[in-house]
Structure 1
Amino acid sequence: MTVNEDSFTNWKNREEIAESMIPIIGKLHRERDVTVLLHSRSLVNKSVVSILKAHRFARQIAGEELSVTETLPFLQALAALDLGPSQIDIGMLAATYRSDDRGLSVAEFTAEAVAGATGENKIECREGRDVVLYGFGRIGRLVARLLIEKAGSGNGLRLRAIVVRGGGDQDIIKRASLLRRDSIHGQFQGTITVDEANNKIIANGNEIQMIYADDPTAVDYTAYGIKDAILIDNTGKWRDREGLSKHLRPGIAKVVLTAPGKGDVPNVVHGVNHDMIKPDETILSCASCTTNAIVPPLKAMADEYGVRRGHVETVHSFTNDQNLLDNYHKAERRGRSAPLNMVITETGAASAVAKALPDLDAKITGSSIRVPVPDVSIAILSLQLERETTREEVLDYLRNVSLTSPLKRQIDFISAPDAVSSDFIGSRHASIVDAGATKVDGDNAILYLWYDNEFGYSCQVIRVVQYVSGVEYPTYPAPVA
């Protein structure tokens, strides 16, 4: 047998093992609200090839590819336990088991590592939390996809309704079509049907009521059986407490804004300050996509090196706020054609840092250039540090932050020398450190941070909603602080 045939046989064997993992992962998710991860990457609803690629990612951590033959026993051990709702990382289980010298079996080690999610310690499955989307644009549709994807057993977040202004004939059919197919993010993963008679979209079995209203105060959510819901406003029309309070109608308990909040509205960046949300807070903001991209790495750098001052320049994809062709716009320059020009504009991300990182004394300034790409942006974060360091030290530190720290869901790391913006479409991280572009000279560091300003940001929104709704379940083994 040739070497090529040996490689192909090995590939087919790994495919077979990955196939056997899918029903176990699915059953844990549907029946017990357990999300199986592999080095922080979810394996739920993933294909055979996606599972094998996730195992290959382990090279970033251990220096070699993680084999499905090594992780399958941990997955089988989990299936045999009386687990409660949780997130369990079989990649980290395998890694920590390697370094354990007590001679425990995989089953014994797994039971000990996830003890907090079993028996008397486990969290009981809660009743699902209703979610309402107010607006159904770029962010609204991506948040809808994520909510449907994460429906699991039905005991987590449940998308119950979408509120939009009436759009005329076949409105619901057209909106369902926009959810089904997206020019940037591809096909919806599942099935979508429309119940025109009852104004409902049924996506992967989730019945979603379409509500038509021109004003928040015109909606009675209890008439649709909605109660204690979290409303996600992705219109950006109201950004202060007074305006957003209009949403606090019967049936709505909390309002989450997908734009920077004004006044005393808390601006939350998950992973950085989400644990500071007061339990009785009814209105909060997820800040902007750029704020979410720069604040986690800024916090990481401040924690390790200290930051005296900084400047962020964002090279941002164009958005629906701009014009396709030159036309009137209330903002300067944004009236010029978005797909034909680079457009200098402002960003509020730098000033928003103070809300998310109030203990950071450094002054952060910022500006932005809109460029003719439809998605994925890059933030160039230039920092003066409080101590000198080297490029190698900074890269090693940020790589470890992305792999094992509590910020690993926010910060990713890439060393590919030929990476370009389209490579990051669909990234679930708030930002991705580009190792090849990073520059360090003494106490000056320049970080290049890619981010999917649509999907990565939407993932951050969902994480905040999960946290405030009480369905952000603990992860085992626990991340290293």
Structure 2
Amino acid sequence: MRVAINGMGRIGRLLFRRLLNQEGIELVAVNDVMPVDNLVYLLKYDSLYGPLHKPISREDGLIAVEGKKVRAFQEEDPLRLDWKGLGIDMVLECSGRFSSRAGAEKHLKAGARKVLLSTTGSEDIPLLIFGFNQHQLDASVDIVSPGGCMTNCSTHILYLMQSIGIESAHFNILHSYTSRQELVDTAHPQFRRGRAAAESIIPVEIDLVKSLDRLFPLKGQLAAMSIRVPVTNGALTDVTLQMKEEVSREQVNAIFKKAAESNYASVLDYTDDELVSADIKGNTHSLIIDGSLTSVVGRQVKLIAWFDNEYGYTSRMLDWLHYWKAML
């Protein structure tokens, strides 16, 4: 499979690093408006995951990494990219700018065969969560949204707890600050997002419920918010569920422990260890249920799930590449 990445932000750069070691998948090209010298520097040195322990350099429109050469473009419009000439099977659309069908289709018109978003796209793009409904993919689908990191975490919680029966669920996602926030106070359409990210605990608006409503028949029974906290990596989902019948803490933990030991092993983990956010950096799972923090009062259940919002999410995108590759 020949792959290109459009948009070299946090997710795009982490995918670049990880695609260097994926058997049967060749990273052919990347596109971002930033100067290539700056991109090479950011690929070489990463404040979260450390330096790239491979020689990397720029060579006349190419990025050379340990004998491999990747084309580097700086086009704002994907229609100007010659994906057909490069034989691109899959574009990983990581810019955040082309998440509508009309936007993502620009890559198809440029000659790519398929497009995988790095976010939840518009409602006319299939929303397929790996480990939940990826089997709905068929050969006719050319653009897929794999959801976001919060959707991937929340989906599996809802699905597994539905085995008991859910009346309502409220998700509170404590999330590391992101590039959509500011380092110092400034103007922003969402006033709180304009406050200094490393100085405050900041509630922000999210569209998680819109995504979950597309996946579950629970419309009007779900609510969600996110609170950004002053750490650079990691997230914690604090979910309160009102169940249709009384349950025990042991019963709830047993559901997730069994899932982690069977079909869900690649996307879900379970632990009773007393974790903090630093402990999940580099974890490949979409969620790690912290059984030590599960609590139950009558029919009300509180669950805590950790996830690395970058490494866990890119792990699912790599899963998608291998899964889709088998269909091409």
TM-score (structure 2 length as normaliser): 0.95
| Preserved contact between residue 267 and residue 287 of structure 1 (Cα < 8 Å) | yes
Q: Distance in 2 between matches of 1:228 and 1:452?
A: 29
CA deviations 1:349-376 (Å, max 9, x no partner) are 1221122x34556721101111111110
**Match for residue 176 of structure 1?**
40
Instruction: Give per-residue Cα distances to partners, 1:417-449, cap 9 Å, x unaligned.
Output: 2x1101101010001111111112232211111
Conserved? CA contact 1:310–1:363, under 8 Å? yes
Output one character per residue of 1:261-311: Cα deviation in whole Å (capped at 9) or x when no partner: 112111221000111123211111121111111111221111x21212111
**1:269 maps to which residue?**
129
Counterpart secondary structure, 1:389: coil
Letter of the structure 2 residue corresponding to residue 452 of structure 1:
D
Determine the C-alpha separation between the residues in 2 that align with 1:429 and 1:229. 26
Deviations 1:295-336 (A, max 9, x none): 11221111x212121110111110001111011223231111
Q: Residue type matched to 1:324 in 2?
A: L
1:292 alignment partner, SS class: helix
Could you tell me which residue of structure 1 aligns to residue 242 of structure 2?
384
2:264 corresponds to? 407
Deviates more, 1:454-463 or 1:241-250: 241-250
Deviations 1:4-43 (A, max 9, x none): xxxxxxxxxxxxxxxxxxxxxxxxxxxxxxxxxxxxxxxx
**Whole-Å separation in 1 of the counterparts to 2:287 and 2:248:** 22
User: For 1:318-467, what aligned pairs fall within 5 Å after superposition?
Assistant: 318-355=177-214, 357-359=215-217, 363-404=221-262, 406-417=263-274, 419-467=275-323
How far the C-alpha of 1:195 sits from its partner, in A, is: 4.0
**Cα distance in 1 for residues equivalent to 2:257 and 2:220:** 24
Secondary structure of 1:236's aligned partner: coil
Instruction: Kindly indicate whether residue 59 of structure 2 is the aligned counterpart of residue 196 of structure 1.
Output: yes
- Kindly indicate whether the alpha-carbon contact (under 8 Å) linking 1:308 and 1:361 is maintained by their aligned counterparts in 2: no
1:234 aligns with 2:85: no
Aligned to 1:136: 8
For 1:282, the aligned partner's letter is: D
Contact 1:192 1:201 in 2 (8 A): no
More helix as a share of residues? 1
Which of 1 and 2 has greater Rg? 1
Name 2:168's counterpart in structure 1: 309
Q: What does residue 158 of structure 1 align with?
A: 26
- Unaligned runs of 5+ residues in structure 1 are 1-128, 473-481
Contact 1:383 1:445 survives alignment (8 Å): yes
CA RMSD in angstroms comes to 1.8
Q: Is the 8 A contact 1:389 1:443 kept in 2?
A: yes
Secondary structure of the 1:176 match is helix
What is the aligned partner in structure 2 of residue 253 from structure 1?
113
SS at match of 2:37: helix
Give the SS at the match of 2:298: strand
Q: Provide the aligned length of Structure 1 versus Structure 2.
A: 328
C-alpha deviation, 1:185, in angstroms: 1.2
Q: What is the DSSP-based 3-state SS (H/G/I as helix, E as strand, rest coil) of the residue aligned with 2:191?
A: coil
Segments of 4+ in structure 1 off by > 3 A?
A: 358-362
- Runs (5+) with no aligned partner, structure 2: none
Corresponding letter in the other structure for 2:21: E
Per-residue deviation, 1:161: 0.4
On the 8 A contact 1:176/1:192 being kept in 2, the answer is no
What is the percentage of aligned positions where both structures have the same residue? 29
Q: Distance in 2 between matches of 1:320 and 1:421?
A: 19
- Structure 2 counterpart of 1:210, which letter? A
Contact 2:37–2:58 (8 Å) recurs in 1: no
- 2:328 corresponds to 1:468: no
| Structure 2 SS opposite 1:222 | coil
The answer on 1:218 being equivalent to 2:80 is yes
Residue matched to 1:283: 143
Alpha-carbon spacing, 1:141–1:375, altered in 2? closer, same or farther (3 Å)? same
The residue matched to 2:195 in structure 1 has which SS? coil
- Alpha-carbon distance in 2 for matches of 1:200, 1:326: 38
Give, in whole Å, the separation in 2 of the partners of 1:253 and 1:330: 37
- C-alpha contact 2:139 2:327 (8 A) present in aligned 1: no
Structure 1 residues 329 and 453, CA gap change in structure 2 (3 angstroms): same
Shift of 1:460: 1.1
- Distance in 2 (CA, whole Å) between partners of 1:182 and 1:193 is 13
For the pair 1:293 / 2:153, whether they are aligned, the reply is yes
Paired with 1:471 and 1:448, the residues of 2 have a C-alpha distance of 36
* Distance in 1 of aligned mates of 2:217 and 2:66: 44
Query: What is the CA–CA distance in structure 1 between the aligned matches of 2:88 and 2:29, rounded to whole Å?
Result: 13
